[in-house]
A and B are shown apart, each in its own frame.
Chain A
Amino acid sequence: MKKLLHFLLFVSILGTTMSAYAVERGDPLKGQPAVRKRVLYLPARFEVTPSLGVSFLQDYRHSFLVGAKAEYHLNDYLSFGFSAHFSPVSMNTGLTDEIHATLPNQLEDDTWVNPTPSKDAMMDALNEIKLVMGPHITYTPAFGKMGLFSTVFFNFDVYFFGGLGLVMFEAGDLTPYTDTPDEYRQTVGDPDREPKLHIIVKEENGGMRFGPQAGIGFHFYLNSWMAINAEFRWMYIKRNAAGFDRNGDKTEPESINGLDRDWVIVDSKDESWENTMFFHFGLSMFFPQFAPRSN
């Protein structure tokens, strides 16, 4: 009996001691930062990023962009900024080339029956992105380091941003290819009259458009104050890229030479919301240049 009591006491002492030790010791890393002694690239720093960009998944014209982004980082996670990019150059998409190759060189003789646009009319009607800009707020939730082919190692971070997007479109110009009811009346019956499209452009497909923008980007750090910046930007903008009517609205029919004639109306009602996407590639510079380390 006494031996049993001694044994139980021993077990009690041992168990209490071990459990107390385990509970009190805990996980030494619990609540601690995952990374220590890391370079603090972002907090309280100003970032300037000159960059080149290109639109993609466009229907008719790809725009090449040149511009810059300015951003102030409040802390490791949050920043706000403004970006602006100008498009000096653009190029046709594959779809544009396909359509262009199919269209006739001249308008059809009877454009009441066959209003197919000519090659030039189709190209001149397209609108084109000239300026892309807008304010945004950025959230940088993650950072890390990576090895490329196990030889090159560098730090990076990934960020998401959202804000207001502003896009300025250069309008297409269908005027040389269209007539109005008055112009038509004056030339009807003239055997030398040039064929025209019977379209009234009430509102051009150019000007400034607003919409939401969002995106994701990466900084690949070269040193404490320079980084390669790759960014994907999505904007949702209302536009009429082709420059022709899409909703079928027309003027009231009027009798000309004994025939009822109506004109197709092109206006802002022919616009639709479209995804407009860009890829930017730039060099980020952070100021002040010194980046401290965390503890």
Chain B
Amino acid sequence: MKTWAIVLSALFATWTLTGVTAAHARGADDDIIMEEDDTSKPAEDTPTDATDPAATDVTDTTDPAATESTDAAAAVADDEKSLKKGDDEDARSYWSDIKVVPRKLILKQNRVELIPYMGVTLNDNLIRHIAFGGEFGYYMSDAMSIGVGGHMYTKQQTDRAYLTGLQQRVLPTLNQYLYTATLNVNYEAAYGKFAFHNKKILQWGIFLSGGLGVTGTEVIPRNAAHEPWTNMNITIQVGAGFRVFINQWLTLWGGVRNYMMQDKFENSNRTQPEADVGEKNAAARFINNLVFQVGVSVFFPTSFEYTTFK
């Protein structure tokens, strides 16, 4: 009998406590609903600092690194109303573990980055190249990396190359790119975040890139009976790009790089079919080879630990 009394008492206590905690939670939700009510108030009710972009703060509601984060200023302002309702202690404990600024999604220092990418040349109307390659980099700091990259090209002659012969009766002098390999230094010059539909926060960065390397090219003879030859040109690379951070080890990566070189073309007066004679009489010209590249970058090791407090 005594045992049954204990059981009944315990069940009563269980149901009662469950109700209390649910009421507690509903009370907290009421605080949030109050924020929505506030939206109907005139804008003058809230202080406006339109000239201070940094005053706008961002909260990620879905991201692992940022679910712990929100706009504390907004939260505190809204909490003031709930404090007046006598709910102060609960509200404070409710928001106290929420931080103002989301941490960087990826820390890069002392990590290596592997970037498989593909690209397309932009600035030649007569011949287009598709590039497939990759880059390997090591981050000395969170912003700067050194690395080596390279790609192979496949060529596509455009309609304009054919039409130039048909319409202006001129055979264009063309070289095709074979490969490019460069030693690169990359610097992340800008870092930002954006909200997609005010729901999902994504972090992104802009990087600048410079490098030195070689590019292999091959002459496409105007006369099919003439022999082609290949060139290996010292190449200076400058570029810029962006990345969008997906998780702690993956980013979407894209950029435009200019591979500058002094290339050797077939002389317009070439008559000898031999490649060595053609190369001896070649016409040199400075080339800007703009390549648009997109890919993904993978960081190793794939995980890391933050060294500072949230």
List A residues at the B interface (Cβ < 8 Å): 2, 5-6, 9-10, 12-13, 16-17, 20-21, 24-39, 57, 59, 76-77, 93, 95, 98-99, 102-103, 114-117, 122, 141-150, 153-156, 158, 221, 223-224, 242, 244-246, 272, 290-295
Contacts and interface: CB of A to CB of B under 8 A. Distances in A.
B191 A2 contact: no
Interface of B: 3, 6-7, 10, 13-14, 17-18, 21-22, 24-26, 28, 32, 35-36, 38-39, 41, 43, 46, 48, 50-51, 53-61, 67, 70-71, 73-74, 77, 94-95, 98, 122-123, 125-126, 159-160, 163-164, 166-170, 172, 189-202, 204, 268
A207 to B, nearest CB: 20
B40 to A, nearest CB: 9
Nearest to A246: B163
Nearest to A32: B61
Contact of B61 (A13, A34, A223, A293): A34
Contacts of B166: 244-246
A116 B123 CA distance: 26
Given A142-B196, A242-B168, A293-B43, A34 B60 contact: yes
A130 to B, nearest CB: 21
Contacts of A28: 28, 32, 94-95, 98
A95 B190 CA distance: 36
A34 B200 contact: yes
A244 B59 contact: no
Contacts, number: 200
A103 B7 CA distance: 104
Contacts of B196: 141-142
A20 B74 contact: no
9 contacts: A17-B14, A28-B94, A29-B70, A30-B61, A31-B61, A32-B61, A35-B195, A37-B55, A153-B54
B82 to A, nearest CB: 12
Nearest to A101: B268
Given A29-B67, A59-B125, A103 B21 contact: no
A155 B14 contact: no
Contact of A12 (B14, B58, B168, B198): B14
Given A16-B18, A24-B21, A24-B22, A115 B169 contact: yes
Nearest to A272: B159
Enumerate the 9 nearest inter-chain pairs by beta-carbon distance, A residue then B residue, closest first. Answer: A144-B194, A146-B192, A224-B50, A292-B43, A24-B25, A36-B74, A244-B167, A21-B21, A9-B10
